[in-house]
């Protein structure tokens, strides 16, 4: 193995880890499913399949609608990759376009494009960014893999109900965190000052 080969393999490993890090910060798989769902919806209304000497033309009167739905799904899939903050809008739009493709585009690209776009849209809506590795709570791992909190944190949590009861005027009933009480004339509004 030469020095050039190890440098190339090191660069491939580095690029692959960079791609994995980029992919982890956005709804990558949702975008891929939505993107792939657009192709059959866009393709099948214009396709002419050949079975021997038999030509099957699947052109519909809504061919332009199928083209628009397919292109929009492809654009939404790419947008999910590069504009991660629009994942809710793009997911809902992909689900709606997938549902509209059922009557417009040969059952949504023979259910292939419909299912891909529907699953990708649902994944986009449900995606949430992960917690960066440096900000996770650190502690000793227990037998079941969960982190154990320190004794001081447990004691503060256990003492919290008494503190809340004392803040309520010692009436014995817990108060909300806003510390507003209708009996004191507070109506739940907070003053800025």
117 and 36 in a common domain: yes
167 and 121 in a common domain: no
156 and 120 in a common domain: no
Residue 46 lies in a domain: yes
163 and 116 in a common domain: no
- Per the structure, the complete domain to which residue 50 belongs is given by 19-126
155 and 116 in a common domain: no
Please list the residues that pair with 48 across neighbouring strands. Answer: 57
Q: Is-above-0.75 flag for pTM?
A: no
Provide the CB-side half-sphere exposure for 191 (13 A, CA).
2
Residue 4 lies in a domain: no
Residue 121 has pLDDT above 60, yes or no: yes
Residue 75 has pLDDT above 50, yes or no: yes
In this prediction, residue 129 has a pLDDT band, given cuts at 50, 70 and 90, of: confident
Give the number of domains in the chain: 2
Residue 189 lies in a domain: no
């Amino acid at each position: 193995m030469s020095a050039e080969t190890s440098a190339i393999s090191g660069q491939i490993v580095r690029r692959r880890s960079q791609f994995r890090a980029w992919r982890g910060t956005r709804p990558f798989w949702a975008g891929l499913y939505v993107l792939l769902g657009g192709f059959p919806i866009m393709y099948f209304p214009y396709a002419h399949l050949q079975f021997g000497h038999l030509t099957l033309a699947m052109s519909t009167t809504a061919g332009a609608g199928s083209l628009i739905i397919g292109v929009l799904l492809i654009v939404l899939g790419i947008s999910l990759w590069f504009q991660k903050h629009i994942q809710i809008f793009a997911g809902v739009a992909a689900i709606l376009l997938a549902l509209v493709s059922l009557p417009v585009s040969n059952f949504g690209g023979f259910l292939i494009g419909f299912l891909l776009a529907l699953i990708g849209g649902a994944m986009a809506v449900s995606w949430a960014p992960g917690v960066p590795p440096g900000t996770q709570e650190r502690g000793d791992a227990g037998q079941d893999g969960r982190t154990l909190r320190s004794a001081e944190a447990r004691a503060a949590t256990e003492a919290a109900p008494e503190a809340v009861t004392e803040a309520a005027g010692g009436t014995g009933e817990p108060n909300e965190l806003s510390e507003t009480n209708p009996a004191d004339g507070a109506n739940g509004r907070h003053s800025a000052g």
